[in-house]
Amino acid sequence: MAKKKQARRRKSARHARPLRPSRPARAMHEPEHTGLDRNFEHFIEELGEHHRRMAEHRHRARDWWYGTFGIAGPLLGAAIGMIGVAIIAFILSIVYVISGAPFISLLSVFLYANLPVFLLIFLAVNYLKHIYLSNDRLYYLVKPVKVAVEIAVAFWLLAWVMQFAGMQTGSIQLMSASLTIMGSLANIFFGFLVLGYIVALVKRERGVYGKKGF
């Protein structure tokens, strides 16, 4: 009887299916990449590549401009910029004739009256840029000055737009804010100049040098 039981056990052991190794459970924190995620990653990569190509085109155009015209390049660029401002003023005057909006007329008159000022601004900005592009050693000294000038000019334009808007709407708040900005232009310039030198020092400590800086 015992021999029969042992024979049955051997037979069942031979016919028993081997156990398959269990698959490791997927970690709960492991994210599954969906099609939307892949599309978003592809979009970010394409955007970065497009930005890189545009930056290369700008650098080549800039190098060609200053390499071709040399020291006369900033003067020519300033003349083109002043012509652009005159064209904008002319378009605004046409818009005023069509619409009859006094605000548009004020902007047009302002641009026409300040064409010499815009020429000086373009000359200053372009020659500052020409200086630090021509000599990398002057980059950290000159670039913050150029940025501070551009920001101060932007606030100057904003103050005049607010002034015209306040005159048009009768808003005392707008005109008061405009006068406050006008009176703070020097502080704005020197404040951003100091900030620019701080950024330049940080960039220099990190090894970002010359034309590839901030």
Q: What is the pLDDT of residues 20-50, one digit of tens each?
A: 555 555 545 545 556 666 666 666 777 777 6
Please indicate, yes or no, if residue 209 is contained in any of the structural domains: yes
Calpha distance 71→123 (Å, rounded): 11
Closest among 131, 148, 139 to 213, alpha carbons compared:
139
Same domain, 207 and 140: yes
**Res. 8: pLDDT tops 90:** no
State which amino acid sits at residue 88: I
Chain centroid to Cα 82, Å, comes to: 24
Domain boundary among 102, 123, 144: 123
Domain boundary among 123, 150, 182: 123
Structural domain that includes position 180: 135-214
CB 180 within 8 A of CB 155: no
Please indicate, yes or no, if residue 153 is contained in any of the structural domains: yes
pLDDT for 118: 95
pLDDT for 57: 61
Tens of pLDDT, residues 143-194: 999 999 999 999 999 999 999 999 888 889 999 999 999 999 999 999 999 9
**Res. 62: pLDDT tops 70:** no
Same domain, 142 and 118: no
Calpha distance 196→213 (Å, rounded): 12
How many domains are there within the chain? 2
Closest among 129, 147, 145 to 211, alpha carbons compared:
129
pLDDT for 137: 83
Tens of pLDDT, residues 91-144: 999 999 998 888 999 999 999 999 999 999 999 999 999 888 888 788 888 999
Same domain, 111 and 147: no
DSSP state of 210: G
pLDDT for 132: 86
CB 84 within 8 A of CB 111: no
Measured from the Cβ of residue 111, the count of other Cβ atoms closer than 10 Å reads 21
Q: What's the whole-number mean pLDDT along residues 196-201? A: 90
Please indicate, yes or no, if residue 6 is contained in any of the structural domains: no
pLDDT for 7: 53
pLDDT for 133: 85
Sign of CA dihedral 107, 108, 113, 116: positive
pLDDT for 214: 42
pTM for the full predicted model: 0.68
CB 132 within 8 A of CB 143: yes
Using pLDDT thresholds of 50, 70 and 90, give the confidence band for residue 5. Answer: low
Domain boundary among 123, 151, 170: 123
pLDDT for 213: 43
